[in-house]
Amino acid sequence: MKLLVINGVNLNMLGIREPGLYGKGDYKSLVKFIKNSAKNNGVSVKAVQFNSEEKIVKAIQKAYKRFDGIIINAGAYTHTSVAILDALKAVSIPTVEVHLTNINEREEFRKFSYISLYAEKVIVGLGFEGYNKAIEYFVSK
């Protein structure tokens, strides 16, 4: 099984950006965590991060017929991007949406996710562990 993990806008700022919300682990630590989780679950994983909506859409499109699943944390684009939703629908790759924080307990505008209109599962508020839960979800399917 091959999974693509797409991290969106500002996730490269982990450890710097609001550590009280997002934790003290940096992006490099997140990628290491994801790769270890994938290895422990016997799957192949590629992790990418983009601050550009266009690059996220291109990564989704390039995943077509190359990956068995997508794990996506689009950051703020979660709440604004119909383009990312449409790209996910276009490629028809099973998708799990992950958020480090519990978006349902934050500002009102963060409570709606376009991606959730397509994702098979949404995991919120578990920090890095949310990515592990997403990988385990794909393995258990």
- Domain that residue 78 falls in: 2-140
Q: What is the pLDDT of residue 21?
A: 80
Among candidate residues 64, 77, 79, 99, the one labeled active-site is 99
Q: How many helices (H) and strands (E) does the chain have?
A: 5, 5
Domain count for the chain, please give it.
1
The two tokens of residue 70 are: 């997508």
Q: What is the CATH number of the domain that holds 28?
A: 3.40.50.9100
Choice among 22, 77, 114, 118 that is catalytic: 22
What is the edge-to-edge ordering of all strands in the sheet holding 2-7?
A: 44-49, 2-7, 69-73, 95-99, 121-124
What is the helix (H) or strand (E) element at residue 19, kind and residue range?
helix 19-22
First-residue to last-residue Cα distance in the chain: 11
Please write the tens of the pLDDT for every residue from 8-50. Answer: 999 999 999 888 888 889 999 999 999 999 999 999 999 999 9
22 is annotated as an active-site residue: yes
Catalytic annotation present for 79 = no
Per-residue three-class SS string for 85-100:
HHHHHHHCCCEEEEEC
CB of 42 within 8 A of CB of 82?
Answer: no
Mean pLDDT of 88-93: 98
pTM for this structure? 0.95
Res. 111 pLDDT band, cuts 50 70 90: confident
